[in-house]
């Protein structure tokens, strides 16, 4: 189930919001297992996991900045673009918007220099590496790995193993309820981490060393570790803070 209060990014870029697309691709969904992305300037990407017979890619923006390659290769949907040089030569006058619809179990393997990835569901593994940008939304994946040099991570309802590493930026993670399956590690070098949790959950503050550390552990099996080098580390009440996400 989707969280009661989806992250605000999903309101800023709702499904079906792209008008006058430059690229419209339909790909056979049967047997599709992976979304592979390697793009310099990614723009804003919304990934939905509701495709049945046909996966789709819809993009809008300046054509010279859109990915050069969008095609299915065996069991992977491959999206590639080397648009950094074009970006610096011609600059960017329009936002790059891309919406992708995939089968529920599709894995996401993405790398980019700059961009925003918004996850809207999905149960496959998620592996995202970015230099500068944002990863946001809701995922039901049991294996999530996200690494950003600079930027923000805002995710709700992580329900399995997750490793989040941010050199400079922030992370906001929210759970309406904890089910005992969450095994989450968050590390932020410089910035801040906010954990939105049910009101009855009490964190354990870990002392020692230069870093701020907090741990959440429940009898049902949930373990959440958060570490911040320089910045804030706060545990907030989901019921009070979640309603402000809009």
Q: Is it the case that residue 1 has pLDDT exceeding 70? A: no
The whole-chain average pLDDT of the chain stands at 89
Share of the chain above pLDDT 90, in %: 69
Q: How far apart are CA 155 and CA 149, in angstroms?
A: 17
pLDDT tens-digit series, residues 71-129 = 999 999 999 998 776 766 777 678 889 999 999 999 999 999 999 999 999 999 999 99
What's the CA gap between 70 and 85, in Å, rounded? 19
Q: Which residues of 125-161 are buried (b: 16+ CB within 10 A; e: fewer)?
A: bbbbebbebbbbbbbbbbebbbbbbbbbbbbbbbbbb
The 10s digit of each residue's pLDDT in 36-81 is 999 999 999 999 999 999 999 999 988 888 899 999 999 999 999 9
Question: What is the rounded average pLDDT of the residues 223-227?
Answer: 96
Q: Under 8 Å CB-to-CB from 73, ≥6 apart: which residues? A: none
Which stretches of 21-147 are DSSP H helices?
A: 84-90
CA-CA distances (angstroms) from residue 157 to 80, 225, 241? Answer: 29, 16, 15
């Amino acid at each position: 189930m989707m969280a009661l209060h989806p992250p605000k990014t999903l309101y800023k870029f709702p499904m079906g919001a792209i008008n006058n697309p430059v690229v419209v691709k339909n790909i056979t969904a049967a047997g599709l297992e992976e979304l592979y992305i390697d793009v310099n300037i990614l723009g804003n990407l919304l990934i939905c996991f509701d495709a049945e017979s046909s996966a789709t890619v819809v993009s809008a923006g300046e054509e010279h900045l859109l990915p050069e390659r969008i095609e299915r290769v065996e069991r992977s949907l491959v999206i590639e673009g080397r648009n950094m040089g074009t970006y610096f030569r011609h600059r960017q006058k329009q936002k790059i918007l891309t919406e992708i619809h995939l089968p529920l179990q599709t894995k996401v393997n993405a790398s980019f220099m700059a961009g925003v990835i918004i996850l809207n569901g999905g149960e496959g593994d998620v592996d995202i590496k970015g230099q500068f940008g944002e990863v946001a939304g809701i995922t039901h994946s049991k294996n999530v790995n996200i690494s950003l040099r600079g930027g923000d991570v805002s995710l709700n309802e992580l329900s399995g193993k997750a490793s989040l590493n941010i050199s400079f930026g922030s992370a906001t993670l929210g759970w309406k309820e904890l089910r005992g399956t969450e095994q989450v590690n968050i590390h932020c070098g410089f910035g801040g981490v906010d954990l939105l949790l049910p009101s009855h959950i009490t964190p354990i503050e870990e002392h020692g060393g230069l870093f701020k550390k907090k741990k959440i552990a429940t009898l049902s099996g949930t373990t959440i570790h958060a570490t911040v080098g320089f910045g804030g580390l706060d545990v907030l009440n989901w019921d009070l803070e979640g309603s402000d996400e809009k």
